[in-house]
């Protein structure tokens, strides 16, 4: 398993591998377009070639693409829901061009439609994103912290969506440690960790965890807020991350940090130390 973090693609996505290497990343995550909106930068043959050359230069094999923040499959607005499906599909195609292992996405909010209709529409829009897709990059659902009526805060709900979509390109989840902790899965002790893993096994299965977002939590257990903290500075703590890292190592799951850049290098060092050789 590899340890890395989210890096900037400013100035061109081909700059990301060098930035990742400078922070000690063995793999990395990136936005292939602005997370706030706007047209995606064109991936010309030259850009793709340069990016792959940089990946080889810094000996980085795995990288991941995060979809923009505005994705909402459950929107009552047709422009937003169809736009979300279109952008996710485009990110998969872009990922296939660049050689990304996975694209991960949030699903959106059920507040406009109510939970039942929102889940049905999310499944419908995910199917639309994947219809006819034959690329190499696979799609992952990222679990949410459960703030407001954000979809995907329980593994039961995610299992329902994956089963509803039934497409080989939707291959599992990106497990965010902070989001799951905030939505009621406790990683801090051997007993609570085992209970959380048992719940994952019951719903989506351990093999569905394809990568992790390794983030400590600014907020307390089951607070239902999305607030990342540096490793050891939050409520999960180093003891919790020792269990998480050991699990990721055993199952060969890459861990990507999404903490602030001021101490992300230190976070990477802590995870590497917890992993051991």
- CA 189 to chain centroid: 24
On the CB side of 12, CA atoms within 13 Å amount to: 13
% residues pLDDT > 70 (the chain): 100
List pLDDT tens digits, range 95-135: 999 999 999 999 999 988 888 999 999 999 999 999 999 99
Measured over the CA atoms of residue 35, residue 133, residue 128 and residue 154, the dihedral's sign is negative
Q: Does residue 183 lie in a domain region?
A: yes
User: What is the reported pLDDT for 213?
Assistant: 98
Question: Is 30 domain-assigned?
Answer: no
CB-based contacts of 14, cutoff 8 Å, min separation 6? 47, 50, 51, 53, 54
pLDDT digits (tens, 9 = 90+) for 194-232: 999 999 999 999 999 999 999 999 999 999 999 999 999
Confirm whether 178 is domain-assigned: yes
In a domain, residue 4? The reply is no
User: What's the CA gap between 56 and 113, in Å, rounded?
Assistant: 46
Q: How far apart are the C-alpha atoms of 170 and 85, rounded to whole Å? A: 13
120 inside domain: yes
| C-alpha to C-alpha distance for 29 and 8, rounded to whole angstroms | 9
Beta carbons within 8 Å of 249's beta carbon, 6+ residues apart: 1, 275
Enter the pTM of the model.
0.95
Q: Is pLDDT of 181 > 90? A: yes
User: Counting Cβ atoms within 10 Å, is residue 10 exposed (0-12), middle (13-18) or buried (19+)?
Assistant: exposed
Confidence of residue 235 (pLDDT cuts 50, 70, 90): very high
Q: What are the backbone angles phi and psi of residue 213, rounded to the nearest 5°? A: -100, 115
Percent of the chain at pLDDT > 90 equals: 93
Residue 52 clears pLDDT 90, i.e. is over it = yes
The stretch 57-82 carries a mean pLDDT of 96
Whether the predicted pLDDT of 277 surpasses 70: no
Question: Is 83 within the bounds of a domain?
Answer: yes
Residues facing 257 on adjacent strands? 5, 214
Question: pLDDT (tens digit, 9 = 90+) per residue, 134-175?
Answer: 999 999 999 999 887 899 999 999 999 999 999 999 999 999
In a domain, 225, yes or no: yes
Specify if 28 maps to a domain.
Answer: no
Q: Residue 258 belongs to a domain with what CATH number?
A: 3.20.20.150
Q: Length of the chain in residues, anyone?
A: 277
Counting the structural domains of the chain, the total is 1
Contact between 66 and 104 under an 8 Å Cβ cutoff? The reply is yes
Average pLDDT over residues 2-6: 98
Domain with 223 in it: 67-275
> What pLDDT was estimated at residue 35?
87
């Amino acid at each position: 398993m590899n340890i890395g973090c989210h890096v900037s693609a400013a100035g061109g996505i081909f700059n990301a591998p060098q930035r990742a290497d400078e922070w000690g990343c063995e793999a990395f995550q990136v936005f292939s377009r602005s997370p706030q909106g706007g047209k995606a930068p064109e991936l010309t043959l030259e850009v793709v070639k340069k990016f792959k050359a940089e990946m080889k230069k810094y000996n980085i094999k795995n990288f991941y693409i995060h979809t923009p923040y505005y994705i909402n499959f459950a929107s009552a607005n047709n422009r937003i829901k169809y736009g979300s499906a279109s952008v996710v599909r485009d990110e998969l195609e872009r990922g296939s061009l660049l050689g990304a292992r996975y694209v991960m996405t949030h699903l959106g909010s059920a507040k406009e439609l109510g939970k039942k209709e929102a889940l049905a529409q999310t499944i419908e829009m995910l199917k639309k994103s994947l219809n006819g897709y034959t690329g190499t990059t696979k799609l992952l659902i990222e679990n949410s912290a459960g703030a407001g009526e954000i979809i995907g805060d329980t593994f039961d709900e995610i299992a329902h969506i994956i089963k509803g979509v039934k497409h080989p390109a939707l291959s599992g989840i990106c497990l965010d440690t902070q989001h799951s902790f905030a939505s009621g899965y406790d990683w801090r002790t051997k007993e609570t960790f085992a209970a959380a893993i048992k719940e994952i096994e019951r719903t989506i299965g351990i093999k569905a965890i394809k990568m992790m977002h390794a983030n400590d939590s600014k907020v307390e257990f089951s607070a239902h807020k999305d607030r990342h903290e540096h490793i050891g500075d939050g409520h999960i703590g180093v003891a919790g991350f020792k269990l998480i890292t050991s699990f990721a190592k055993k199952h060969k799951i890459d861990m990507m940090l999404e903490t602030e850049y001021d101490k992300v290098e230190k976070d990477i060092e802590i995870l590497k130390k917890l992993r051991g050789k």
